[in-house]
Amino acid sequence: MGVRQLFDLTGQVALITGGSRGLGLQMAEALGEMGARLVITARKADELDQARAHLQALGHEVHTVVNDLQQIDRIPGLVSQVIEQAGPIDILVNNAGATWGCKAEDHPDAAWHKVMDLNINAPFFLTREVGKRCMIPRGQGNIIVTASVAGLKGTPPGMHTIAYNTSKAAAIHFARTLASEWGPYGIRVNALCPGFFPTRLANGLIDQLGDALVARTPLRRLGGDEDLKGAVVFLASDASRHVTGQALVVDGGASVI
């Protein structure tokens, strides 16, 4: 197989949660460009409509499903809708997430549960459903978890994101553990660990710490609109067919300092 073929995703169904904006939309663009049939899901119908129009203008096949992943009981119905619209899921990108800024001693209970529900509980229950219904029976599948460099270390001075960091560390180990369990089924599981990218989730911290973040990054810049595309295509395609249980860091080198 030639190298170009290794990256080809033609005809594969890719479900991207939180795919209507930010990093999720960037990854959807990349997977669609390589031929995947896209299904994006998010809570807000208007944002999904805008994302669908954007992706269709790029020439990609795309379906949308409005869904709130914090409502765990709706996950089986979400998977059923995806299968009905596009077919069995080949690639699952668990990207939807939340954060909350607060000192640990003052952290609200509800905020802790919200972050954990969206960042680790929902990906587990969704992955379990997709695995049982789409991947294990066919002996193939590819799961990508959007973790973060925040899951690799503590927080710099001025940041108070204990729930987020904890959940992203759990996401990395979730990928490692599931990779070992589901490898015999022909299913690969990897974590993608972005650094700071200008997104709605991160903009508050970037506004507060932007110059310091850039100064601590060897490449002297934050992530941009193209910087996750190659990484997600690599992990989603046969180009990484002997890679599983890994955490791929995309942060301009910030985590090595």
Task: Please enumerate in sequence order all residues whose Cβ is within 8 A of that of 54, keeping only pairs 6 or more positions apart, or say none.
Answer: 25
Concatenating the DSSP letter of every residue in 103-151 gives -GGG--HHHHHHHHIIIIIHHHHHHHHHIIIIITTTT-EEEEEE--GGG
Task: Please enumerate in sequence order all residues whose Cβ is within 8 A of that of 142, keeping only pairs 6 or more positions apart, or say none.
Answer: 90, 91, 92, 187, 188, 235, 236
Angle (nearest 5°) at CA 124 between 121 and 127: 145
Count the neighbouring beta carbons within 10 Å of the beta carbon of residue 98. 19
Whether 164 is a known active-site residue: answer yes
Q: Do 116 and 167 contact (CB within 8 A), yes or no? A: yes
Structure tokens at 48: 């999904």
Catalytic residue among 98, 164, 175, 178: 164
Instruction: Kindly list the catalytic residues.
Output: 164
